């Protein structure tokens, strides 16, 4: 299929827990390839299957890291173990996230600085690695999608109010809204 439309906040698949992947087959590998193409066209650092309307527990990523992990990959049926998240307010300059399903918006969010990621690759081979810093943030962000959470759902009160107001202003929060990377204007200006 190639590049797929990215769902926007309000699409039901984004707000419910995704199902476990049960078959590691050609259909799954084709989905992974479509996800890579979509992620690349959107200039994203990660893409979860629910973001393209597929309610399965997998995500792709593209992020250079210092953790000895290939900078491009897929994690299927992941589990995450996290370090403690600081209770401090997020730094509005250093800890700002965006999301392809909340196109063009960015808000500060505290995340764990370390994550242990377990899961499988597209061939069903086990994965087990550690992620730190921003790479850990990417892993947490994409994993949240698989549990039906957007990063704006995790914002503190101050930033959460701003996000909800902007989502309403944009007319999101309803089913059926998408944007097509590589065709529609890039909401993040890449």
* Tokens describing residue 120: 């499988």
Is residue 99 part of an annotated ligand binding site?
A: yes
DSSP 9: T
- Could you tell me which of 106, 74, 99, 108 has the C-alpha nearest to residue 14? 99
Instruction: Provide the β-strand partners of residue 114.
Output: 132
- Using an 8 Å Cβ cutoff, are 51 and 7 in contact? yes
Q: Is 190 annotated as a binding residue?
A: no
Asked if residues 167 and 173 have their Cβ atoms less than 8 Å apart, the reply is yes
> Active-site residue 71, yes or no?
no
Compute the distance between CA of residue 67 and CA of residue 136 in angstroms, rounded to an integer: 10
* Cα 23 → chain centroid: 22
Partnered with residue 131 across adjacent β-strands are: 115
Whether 145 has a binding-site annotation, put simply, is yes
User: What are the tokens at 8?
Assistant: 């926007």
Candidates 113, 130, 142, 170; catalytic one: 142
N-to-C CA span, the chain: 24
Biggest distance spanned by C-alpha atoms of the chain: 45
| Residue set of the binding site for Fe cation | 99, 141, 145
Active site positions, annotated: 142
| Residue set of the binding site | 99, 141, 145
């Amino acid at each position: 299929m190639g590049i797929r439309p990215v769902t926007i906040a309000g699409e039901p698949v984004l707000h419910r827990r995704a199902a476990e992947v049960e078959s590691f087959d050609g259909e799954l590998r084709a989905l992974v390839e479509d996800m890579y193409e979509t992620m690349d066209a959107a200039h994203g650092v990660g893409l979860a299957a629910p973001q393209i309307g597929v309610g399965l527990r997998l995500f792709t990523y593209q992020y250079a890291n210092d953790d000895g992990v290939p900078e491009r990959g897929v994690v299927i049926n992941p589990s995450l173990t996290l370090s403690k998240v600081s209770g401090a307010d997020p730094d509005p300059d250093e800890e700002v996230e965006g999301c392809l399903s909340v196109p063009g918006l960015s808000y500060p969010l505290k995340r764990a600085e370390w994550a242990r990621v377990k899961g499988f690759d597209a061939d069903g081979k086990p994965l087990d690695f550690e992620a730190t810093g921003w790479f850990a943030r990417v892993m947490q962000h994409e994993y949240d999608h698989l549990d039906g959470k957007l990063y704006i759902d995790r914002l503190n009160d101050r930033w959460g109010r701003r996000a909800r107001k902007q989502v309403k202003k944009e007319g999101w929060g309803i089913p059926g809204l998408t944007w097509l990377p590589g065709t529609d204007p890039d909401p993040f200006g890449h």
